[in-house]
C-alpha cells in the first residue's frame, strides 16, 4: 500500500515537472534542462505507469505518444459554428470593411482592432471541461467536423490540462495546426528517402498528419498549434480579445508573438505591409493577415452574415500558388554540369511576379509527380526561391500529353550524360568543354587548392566568358596584359598581376592538376591518391573501371565518373591544350605497396564490434584489397559480422570463403 502511494506521488510530481518543461520548450522556447534530462524524466514516468496502469491520467505527458489505429473518425458537433471569414485582396476592400464596421458600431472616430498573421494550416476546435482537454474536432462543414482528439493529444503545444487558474468550466479554443517550414523540408526529405511521395505544402502535410487513423504517426510529425479564437464558453474570458490572448498564454497556449493591437485602418494596412516584408523570414507559412474588432462586446453588436463574422477580415497576401499549363520540358545544364528538367509554362503571375519556367528538380521527381508536356499544373513560388511545379491536375490532362525522359547526350555540348549511382542527379561529363559549365569550370580551375591563380575572381571570369576571350581553361594561358587591361575594373598593374599568376600556375603538381580539372567526386584527397597510385596522367586517363576501383577509397560510382570524364573527347582535347601550353609537374614517386591481399575482393555484411564497416573498408583498401557492395563469383572473401544480411546467404550458396570477425582481424 505504501509502495503504491509512493508511486502515485512520484507520478504526480513527474507529470508536473514534465508539463512545466514542455511549456518552457514548446511554448516559451526557453528550455531549462537538457534533452537527455527530459528524456530521463519521461522514461521514469512511463515505467511507473507501466507498473501501475491505474495511475495513467488523460492529461499525462505519456499520452502524447499516440495509440493503436482507429477504425474510423467519429463526428464532432460544434456548439458554436466554425464560420469562414470574408477576404480582402486589396486596400480598397479593406477600407470598405472598416467603414462598415464603424457604421455598425456608430463610431465617429477609428475602431480598435487586433492584427495577426493568418497561418496556413488546418483549423481545429479544442474543448476543455474543468481545464481538461476532452475533445478536438476539425472545422468540417462548420457545424460538424471529424473527431481528432487522439491525434491532437500528441501535439506538444496543445495543453492537455490548462495551466494556472480562472478558466471557464466549459471552454473551447479555436486555432490552426501548422508545420514549420524547416520541419516540413526535413519531413519531405525523409519521405522521399523512404520512397514515399512528398507533401505539396505544409498545410497539406498538417492536414494529412491530423487525419491519420494511427495516432503514433501523428505523434512523429512536427505539428504546432496557434490559437486564434473561441467557441463555446460557460463564462466570459475577457472584455477584449487582446486581453483574452494574454490569458490563453497564461493557460499554456503558444500565442503568436506577432499579434498586435492596432488603431484605425491605416495601422492595419501598415501592419499588413510589415508582415508582407517579413513573410519569407517567418518560420511558418502564412497566406494573409487577419484583422478583428478587439472589443468582444462590439463583436456581438456587429454579429454575422450567413457565412462569416462582420467583425473580422482576412487581408490576403499575394498567392504563392497558381495554375497554368506545361508547354514544354527542357534539360537545363547548371554550372557544375548537373542537368535539371525545367518546365516551360504558359506565363502566369505568382506572388506578383510573372512566371514562365519552373524547376522539376530531377528526373525521379518529375516521374513521381508524373508531369507531362501538355499538363495543367499547380506552380508555387516563395520569395526568391526558383518556382517549382507542385502537382498535376490530372482531371485536365489532354490525351496527347507527352512523357519526358533525360537525354543521353548533353543538350549544350553533346557530351555523355551520366547518372550518379544511388543519387538522383544526372551530369554532363564534358566539364572542361561544355559552355554551360564554362564559368564554373574556370573558377574551380583557378581556385587556391587547384591551380591557385590569384586575381581570377567571379567578376573577371564573367567578363572573359561573356566577351568570348576564354572558352576553355586552356585559353587562360593565351591571355595578354593589354587584353585584360581593357576590361572593366582592370588596369595595367592588376592585369599584369593576373598574367603573372597564370604564368606561375604552369608549374604545379599532378595532384593539383587532377583536382583542377573538376572531375565529378574527385576532391583534393582523391586527386592525391590517384596521382600516387598511377604515377602519370596518361595512366589515369587510360585506366579502366576495375583499375580505378582498385585504388584505395575509390568505389564503383567514383570509378565510373573518373572513367567517363576522361572518355569524353572534348575533355581530352582541353587537357592536351593545357599540356601544350606548358602546364607541367615533377615526376610522381609511386608508393610501392604489395600485400597478400592486393587485388583480392571483399564484401562486408553485418556489424563488427572492433570497428565500423567504413573503417574495415579503409583498412582493406590500404592493404590493396578491393571492397565491393555485392557478392559475385569474383568475390574472394565475405566478412560476416552480427546480424548479416542476404549477402551471407549468397556467399554460402556460391561457396565463397566466409570470415567471422576474429578471422578477419587476424587476416588484416
Per-residue pLDDT of 520-561, as tens digits, reads 888 887 888 899 889 999 999 999 988 898 887 788 888 888
The CATH-assigned architecture of domain 321-396 is Beta Barrel (2.40)
What's the CATH fold of domain 87-316? D-amino Acid Aminotransferase; Chain A, domain 1 (3.30.470)
**Residue 66 in this model has a pLDDT that exceeds 80:** no
Cell of 385: 526561391
Task: State the pLDDT at residue 344.
Answer: 95
Out of 77, 118, 156, 396, pick the active-site residue: 118
Cα separation, 240 vs 253, whole angstroms = 18
Q: What is the 3-state secondary structure (H, E, C) of 3-39?
A: HHHHHHHHHHHHHHHHHHHHHHHHHCCCCCCCHHHHH
| 428: number of Cβ within 10 Å | 29
Cβ–Cβ < 8 Å for 401, 430: no
- Select, from the ranges 5-14, 107-116, 342-351, 428-437, the one with the highest average predicted confidence (pLDDT): 107-116
Beta-strand runs (E) in 82-169: 87-88, 112-119, 122-129, 132-138, 144-146
Helix 458-466 with 438-446: angle, nearest 10 deg: 140
Residue 169 catalytic? Answer: no
CATH code of the region 415-589:
1.10.150.20
Q: What single DSSP character describes residue 53?
A: G
pTM to 2 decimal places = 0.53
Percentage with pLDDT > 70 across the chain: 94
> Closest Cα to residue 286, out of 121, 87, 119?
119
In CATH terms, 2-65 corresponds, of 1.10.3480.10, 1.10.287.610, 2.130.10.10, 1.10.10.10, to 1.10.287.610
Residue of 546, 518, 568 lying closest to 418 (CA atoms):
568
Q: Indicate the class that CATH gives domain 601-667.
A: alpha beta
Domain ranges of the chain: 2-65, 87-316, 321-396, 415-589, 601-667
Q: Which three cell numbers stand for residue 445?
A: 580551375
What the block records as the C-alpha cell of 130 is: 474543468
Residue among 19, 20, 23 at smallest CA distance from 253? 23
pLDDT in tens, 365-402: 898 889 999 999 988 876 556 788 888 988 889 999 99
> Of 574, 581, 585, 573, which Cα lies nearest the Cα of 537?
585
pLDDT per residue as tens digits for the range 125-155: 999 999 999 999 998 878 888 999 999 999 9
Q: Which three cell numbers stand for residue 208?
A: 494529412
Amino acid at each position: 500500500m505504501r509502495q503504491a502511494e509512493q508511486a502515485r506521488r512520484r507520478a504526480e510530481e513527474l507529470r508536473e515537472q514534465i508539463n512545466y518543461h514542455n511549456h518552457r520548450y514548446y511554448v516559451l522556447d526557453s528550455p531549462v534542462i537538457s534533452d537527455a534530462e527530459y528524456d530521463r524524466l519521461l522514461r521514469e514516468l512511463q515505467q511507473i505507469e507501466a507498473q501501475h496502469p491505474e495511475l495513467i491520467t488523460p492529461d499525462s505527458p505519456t499520452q502524447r505518444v499516440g495509440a493503436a489505429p482507429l477504425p474510423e473518425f467519429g463526428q464532432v458537433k460544434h456548439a458554436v459554428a466554425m464560420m469562414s471569414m470574408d477576404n480582402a485582396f486589396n486596400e480598397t476592400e479593406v477600407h470598405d470593411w472598416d467603414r462598415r464596421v464603424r457604421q455598425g458600431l456608430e463610431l465617429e472616430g477609428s475602431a480598435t482592432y487586433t492584427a495577426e498573421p493568418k497561418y496556413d494550416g488546418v483549423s481545429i476546435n479544442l474543448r476543455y471541461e474543468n481545464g481538461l482537454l476532452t475533445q478536438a474536432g476539425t472545422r468540417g462543414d462548420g457545424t460538424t467536423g471529424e473527431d481528432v482528439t487522439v491525434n491532437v493529444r500528441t501535439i506538444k503545444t496543445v495543453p492537455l490540462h490548462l495551466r494556472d487558474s480562472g478558466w471557464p468550466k466549459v471552454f473551447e479554443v479555436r486555432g490552426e495546426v501548422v508545420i514549420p517550414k524547416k520541419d516540413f523540408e526535413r519531413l519531405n526529405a525523409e519521405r522521399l528517402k523512404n520512397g514515399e511521395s512528398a507533401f505539396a505544402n505544409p498545410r497539406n502535410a498538417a492536414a494529412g498528419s491530423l487525419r491519420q487513423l494511427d495516432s503514433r504517426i501523428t505523434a512523429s510529425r512536427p505539428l504546432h498549434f496557434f490559437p486564434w479564437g473561441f467557441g463555446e464558453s460557460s463564462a466570459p474570458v475577457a472584455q477584449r480579445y487582446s486581453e483574452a490572448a494574454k490569458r490563453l498564454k497564461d493557460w499554456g497556449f503558444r500565442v503568436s508573438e506577432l499579434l498586435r493591437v492596432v488603431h484605425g485602418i491605416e495601422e492595419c494596412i501598415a501592419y499588413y505591409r510589415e508582415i508582407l516584408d517579413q513573410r519569407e523570414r517567418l518560420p511558418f507559412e502564412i497566406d494573409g493577415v487577419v484583422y478583428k474588432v478587439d472589443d468582444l462586446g462590439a463583436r456581438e453588436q456587429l454579429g454575422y452574415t450567413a457565412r462569416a463574422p462582420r467583425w473580422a477580415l482576412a487581408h490576403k497576401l499575394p498567392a504563392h500558388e497558381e495554375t497554368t499549363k506545361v508547354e514544354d520540358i527542357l534539360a537545363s545544364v547548371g554550372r557544375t554540369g548537373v542537368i535539371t528538367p525545367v518546365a516551360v509554362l504558359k506565363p502566369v503571375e505568382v506572388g506578383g511576379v510573372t512566371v514562365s519556367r519552373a524547376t522539376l528538380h530531377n528526373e525521379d521527381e518529375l516521374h513521381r509527380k508524373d508531369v507531362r508536356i501538355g499538363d495543367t499544373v499547380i506552380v508555387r513560388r516563395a520569395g526568391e526561391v526558383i518556382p517549382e511545379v507542385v502537382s498535376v491536375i490530372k482531371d485536365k490532362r489532354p490525351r496527347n500529353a507527352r512523357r519526358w525522359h533525360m537525354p543521353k547526350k548533353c543538350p549544350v555540348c553533346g557530351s555523355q550524360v551520366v547518372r550518379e549511382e544511388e543519387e538522383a542527379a544526372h551530369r554532363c561529363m564534358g566539364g572542361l568543354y561544355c559552355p554551360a559549365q564554362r564559368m564554373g569550370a574556370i573558377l574551380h580551375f583557378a581556385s587556391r587548392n587547384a591551380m591557385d591563380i590569384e586575381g581570377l575572381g567571379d567578376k573577371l571570369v564573367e567578363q572573359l566568358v561573356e566577351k568570348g576571350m576564354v572558352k576553355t581553361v586552356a585559353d587562360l594561358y593565351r591571355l595578354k596584359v593589354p587584353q585584360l587591361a581593357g576590361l572593366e575594373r582592370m588596369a595595367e598593374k592588376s592585369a599584369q598581376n593576373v598574367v603573372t599568376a597564370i604564368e606561375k600556375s604552369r608549374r604545379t603538381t599532378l595532384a593539383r592538376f587532377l583536382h583542377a580539372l573538376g572531375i565529378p567526386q574527385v576532391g583534393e584527397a582523391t586527386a592525391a591518391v590517384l596521382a600516387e597510385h598511377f604515377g602519370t596522367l596518361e595512366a589515369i586517363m587510360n585506366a579502366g573501371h576495375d583499375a580505378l576501383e582498385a585504388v584505395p577509397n575509390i568505389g564503383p560510382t567514383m570509378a565510373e565518373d573518373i572513367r567517363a570524364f576522361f572518355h569524353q573527347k572534348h575533355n581530352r582535347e582541353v587537357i592536351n591544350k593545357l599540356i601544350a601550353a606548358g602546364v607541367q609537374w615533377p615526376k610522381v614517386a609511386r608508393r610501392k605497396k604489395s600485400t597478400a591481399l592486393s587485388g583480392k575482393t571483399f564484401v562486408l555484411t553485418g556489424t563488427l564490434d572492433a570497428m565500423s564497416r567504413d573503417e574495415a573498408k579503409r583498412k582493406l583498401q590500404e592493404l590493396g584489397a578491393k571492397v565491393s557492395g555485392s557478392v559475385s563469383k569474383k568475390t574472394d572473401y565475405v566478412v560476416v559480422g552480427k546480424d548479416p544480411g542476404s549477402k551471407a546467404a549468397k556467399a554460402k550458396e556460391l561457396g565463397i570463403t566466409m570470415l567471422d570477425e576474429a578471422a578477419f582481424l587476424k587476416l588484416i
